[in-house]
Structure 1
Amino acid sequence: MNFTEIKPSNFSLEKYGIKDAEAHWNLNPSDLEEIAIEKNMAVRSASGAIAIDTGEFTGRSPKDRFIVEDEITKDAVWWGDVNIKFDADKFDSLQGKMADYLSGKEVYVRDVYACADERYKLKIRVINEYPWSNMFAYNMFLRPSEEELKDFEPDWVVINAPSFMADPAVDGTRQHNFAILNFSKQTAIIGGTGYTGEIKKGIFSALNFILPHQRDVLSMHCSANVGEAGDTALFFGLSGTGKTTLSA
């Protein structure tokens, strides 16, 4: 299959330890759909959208989300049942295993932004094992222009390999799935789960540390709309309470 890719000037994945991979850069969603269907990872639904099965996990696994304890986080994160400490050496080892796992494989890379405000915009590179996970990143995050993609250099990298399983006895995780943030390396690694919300939540978690702690900006989990007079309403609520619906 021939697809149109947009590669940055420095497009090697070897800096992340991923070698000899067949990487597809910034494919459009129709190409990713075609690949997912061709590989029997998705089916076309009656509405025309593709349907996928995320496997074992159909939601996030909060007890398997960790933050590396380092010089940046050790005295600044409220550690406990929500923010669970992870050892920096264990992270490096696990990331190395993930890189070895993805080496030589077909992977899908997308360069995106988080934060619409230019003062706080975060450049993100998402490396996915599955094409439909890469579609999620296309839908979820802000998209650079073709010109911006040419010289894109990420602030953060997300490495996502749903079929890679951790060994809790060796790797320091609770079970085979994990989502781990490392603020020193500005890297998130996600494995053992196909639920794509872990990608979004990983970056949101990073922003919820970076914005208030490092940029003096209050971050909020809410939606917003603007009235005819330019007045703004913010909608706060737990997941599923209608924030997005009300803001549309």
Structure 2
Amino acid sequence: MPSKKPVTEESPAVSTALQRHGLERVGQVFWNLGVPSLIEEAVRRREGRLALGGVLVVRTGQHTGRAPNDKFIVRESSSDGAIGWGAVNRPFEPRRFDQLHRRLLSYYRGKDLFIQDRVVGTDPASQRTVRVVTETAWHSAFAGTMFLAPAGYAGADAFEPDFTILHAPNFSAEPERDGTQSPTCILIHFGKRLVLIGGTSYAGEIKKSAFTVMNYLLPLDGILSMHCAANVGSSGDVALFFGLSGTGKTSLSADPRRTLIGDDEHGWSDDGIFNIEAGCYAKMIR
């Protein structure tokens, strides 16, 4: 069940879970806080404001979309041969990753953290567990909405994430020191099952990083991962809508005569089509 109060390091279970990720001397820890409580917390912290109907409105700063030029994959032995390196999948040095990781952990010290233990993928046979650590309530609400609640959750110390996302929108990388293109960084280390996101408040980086991980893992299990929308008719006929971001997948799949499976990320296994996410991600263009 989602907690309604902050969980502090005084709890042995929480302390153990934090230490597992190198998180030390942090402020209050809000673990698996429910979305309504996170929205209240976001408003209280002035991260956003409520609009008509109770909708939370936030600003993402300079990044109103993803930053593909700032995304890298660590080149290491466990995944090297399975990745098509090039202009899209650009390599990053393990040494640089470790250096930036240490700086990010230091950045977290003294800060309140919001943590979500979730599941990515609606197919029980192929879904993966994820732990999302962030410094803002509204990004935690986003993760709690876009990913699924784990069944039979036994607590923070018992939860074993298949991968972890450390998210710090107010952290800035130093390009000359860290080897990044800009102060923004999205780094994925498959060997360590770890994602680092910094310098951007655009929440879509969280979901797309999870999709990148699934895009790597699912094909290893013989499952096709797809950037597409999907819906199904009354006779069980499934339609897929492929297209780049912003080309209308969400709009086209929202057909009143058909049931929506999902609007952005899916897998295709021997058992059929399944959604990788739990929420819907409709873009609002002003």
TM-score bucket of the superposed structures, by smaller chain = over 0.9
Counterparts of 2:107 and 2:249, CA distance in 1: 39
**30-39 or 3-12: which moved more?**
3-12
Counterparts of 2:56 and 2:187, CA distance in 1: 29
SS in 1 for 2:226: coil
1:74 maps to amino acid? D
Counterparts of 2:30 and 2:72, CA distance in 1: 29
Q: 1:9 to 1:236 in 2, by over 3 A?
A: farther
SS in 1 for 2:98: helix
Q: What TM-score do you get using the length of structure 2 for normalisation?
A: 0.81
2:179 maps to amino acid? G
1:161 maps to amino acid? A
Superposed CA RMSD = 1.9
* 1:73-106 deviation line (CA, Å, top 9, x unaligned): 3222111211111001111111111011102210
Counterparts of 2:84 and 2:240, CA distance in 1: 26
Aligned to 1:203: 210
SS in 1 for 2:80: coil
1:19 maps to amino acid? E
Residue segments in structure 2 that go unaligned for 5+ positions in a row: 255-286
**157-166 or 76-85: which moved more?**
76-85
Aligned to 1:15: 20
SS in 2 for 1:126: strand
SS in 2 for 1:221: strand
Contact kept, 8 Å, 2:6 with 2:29, in 1: the verdict is: no
Aligned to 1:57: 63
2:130 maps to amino acid? I
| Equivalent of residue 187 in structure 1, options 181, 194, 201 | 194
**118-127 or 20-29: which moved more?**
20-29
Aligned to 1:115: 121
SS in 1 for 2:91: strand
Q: 1:137 to 1:9 in 2, by over 3 A?
A: farther
SS in 1 for 2:129: strand
Counterparts of 2:154 and 2:117, CA distance in 1: 7
Q: How far does residue 228 in structure 1 lie from its aligned partner after superposition? A: 1.1
RCO higher in structure (CA 8 A, sep ≥6):
1
1:3 and 2:9 matched: no
Q: How many residues align?
A: 245
Aligned to 2:80: 74
Q: How far does residue 20 in structure 1 lie from its aligned partner after superposition? A: 2.2
* 1:169-204 deviation line (CA, Å, top 9, x unaligned): 111111111000000000000001111111111111
Q: Report sequence identity in percent.
A: 40
Counterparts of 1:58 and 1:228, CA distance in 2: 37
1:40 and 2:46 matched: yes
